[in-house]
Structure 1
Amino acid sequence: MHTDVHLRLHDLRAAELRTEADRFRLSRAGARTPGHLRRLLGWFLVDLGLRLVHRPRVRHARIA
């Protein structure tokens, strides 16, 4: 196959894939997954746990 033809076919296929991906994104934009709130709560708890674990320790001054 000639290189120009191959490049043109590649460009056409890439454009088709981009349009298909855009259509898919638009169709999924309004739809929420069934476990959306559960996932948000889970990540909130993970974030909270990491904040508690990485809290700097308080060091009290000792009088010698």
Structure 2
Amino acid sequence: MEKKQRITLYTDPNGPHKDQVHENALMTPEERWLVFQRLKRRHYGLFGKPKKREKRISIEKPAWI
């Protein structure tokens, strides 16, 4: 069961970063992986999956030579 989300107001700009580092330190690698997968699915749901780009290296003579 997921924790209920809470709203926290910070006076220190580094407050959210410190909280996130502390929460990640308490998580196991498996839990972090599941959170990453959930965030990735949410991102793809909002913006769609990125299109595959062609992998090609082209070497051309510079125009100034």
Give the structure-2-normalised TM-score.
0.33
Give the structure-1-normalised TM-score.
0.33
> Which structure has more RCO (C-alpha within 8 Å, separation ≥ 6)?
2
Higher alpha-carbon Rg = 1
